[in-house]
Structure formats: structure tokens, C-alpha cells
Amino acid sequence: AIRIAMGLQPVKDKFKDGAISEKDELEACRRDMPAYPNEPLMIQRPRQSWDGPKAKATFGMDGIICMTIRMRLDCRVVTPEGMVRDRYNVLNEVVIDRGSSSYLAALECFCDDVHLTTVQADGIIFATPTGSTAYSMAAGGSVVHPAVPCILVTPICPHVLSFRSMVFPDHVILRCYVPEDARSPASVAFDGKHRQELGRGDSVQIQMS
């Protein structure tokens, strides 16, 4: 299917005797595939000839395509009753901010169920290394190489000067909670989409996908 989408094989040659030949497949997930965050995966297009239509485009150099495996975040919106209301996978960042409220956002942050800090700021960003060059960098966060397995936590205009961007290992589970006594609800967006309100008692759980 990948080769057909790339124009490297005509549709009529996809199946042979009702099955796909293993030697003719583009080995996108081979058994010796390097694990993240090792070197980028090198995929070599098998050399073969056919009388079908000419390939639409040429990819890579000498039939070799370089693929970089990127980390994503699994984000879950949890209600006060502990039910998962929504779930999204993000490539760049999840942003929890004050939304349309004129008050600073009051948020409680936890790392592996251990209280991390109380956030009084315009908001907070949870970013992947890929997203470290986007909103997180604009808010003063560090730029992280994509091969570094980590989660960045960057405050947006914090009220406390000592609260700065932090980097956590990718195996932790982070949770941002809107307190019951918060002055106003918060708002959350996933990669700039699916914006929704977080009421008092709601929380967002973030971990590596």
C-alpha cells in the first residue's frame, strides 16, 4: 500500500496469488527496526522492473528514504468523577490556559501522583521535543533535539519568577488539575485544535503515547 501510494508500484501488481509477497514489500516495520530514539530508520526501495506506468515521483537518494520516529503525547480529559471525557494524541503540545477569563489560571500540577507545583499563570504548556520549537519556545522554553525522549513543561507568563520551564523523562505521567476553589474555569487545546473548557474539578492527564 505504501509503494502504491508513492507511485512505485502499479495497483495491478499489488497482489500475487491472493497474497502480498514479503520480498516485494517496502519494509517499513521490519523485525530489526531500530527503537526510538536511535538513528533515523533507513528504508530502501527494492529494485525491480515492470512494464506498468512510470513512477509518479522519485523519493530519497538512490532509492533510500530516511524516516525519523517522533514522540507523541497521549492526553486525556478526566471529569471529577474519574471518567475519561475525551482523548487525543498530539505531536506538538497541549496548552492549558485561562481561556476567556480575565483572571490568572490556578492549576495544580502532579508528576506520578506527587504534587509538583501550584501554577498561577496565563497557562501552562506540555510539549514534545518536536513541539519545543513552537509555542513552548515562544514562552521561554528550551529547544530539545527530537531524539531526546522527554516531556517539556513550560509556564505562560507565570506570576512567580522562580517557576521556569522544566524537562521530565518520557516515562512519567503528568496531570494538571483545576481546583474546586478556582476563581474561574480553564481552557485546553490539543495541537491548537479541539479547544474545550475545563470546569472546576476537571483534569488533564499527559503521558507518552
- Give 125-179 pLDDT, tens digit per residue: 999 999 999 999 999 999 999 989 999 999 999 998 888 899 999 999 999 999 9
For 109-116, what is the mean pLDDT?
94
The helix (H) or strand (E) run that includes residue 2 is helix 2-5
Q: How far is CA 195 from CA 83, 119, 187, 189, 198, in A?
A: 19, 20, 7, 4, 10
Task: Indicate the DSSP class of residue 89.
Answer: E
Distance CA 136, CA 139 (A): 5
Cβ atoms of 156 and 140 closer than 8 Å:
no
> Could you read off the pLDDT of 15-66 as tens digits, one per residue?
445 554 444 444 444 445 455 455 555 555 555 555 555 555 555 566 677 7
* Residue that is written with C-alpha cell 480553564 in the block: 186
Residue pLDDT, tens place only, 113-136: 999 999 899 999 999 999 999 999
pLDDT number for residue 4: 54
Contact indicator for 48, 21 with CB cutoff of 8 Å: no
Q: In the numeric block, which cell numbers belong to residue 18? A: 491472493
Q: Cβ–Cβ contacts within 10 Å for residue 164, how many?
A: 13
First to last CA, the chain: 25
In which residue are the cell numbers 506540555 written? Answer: 126
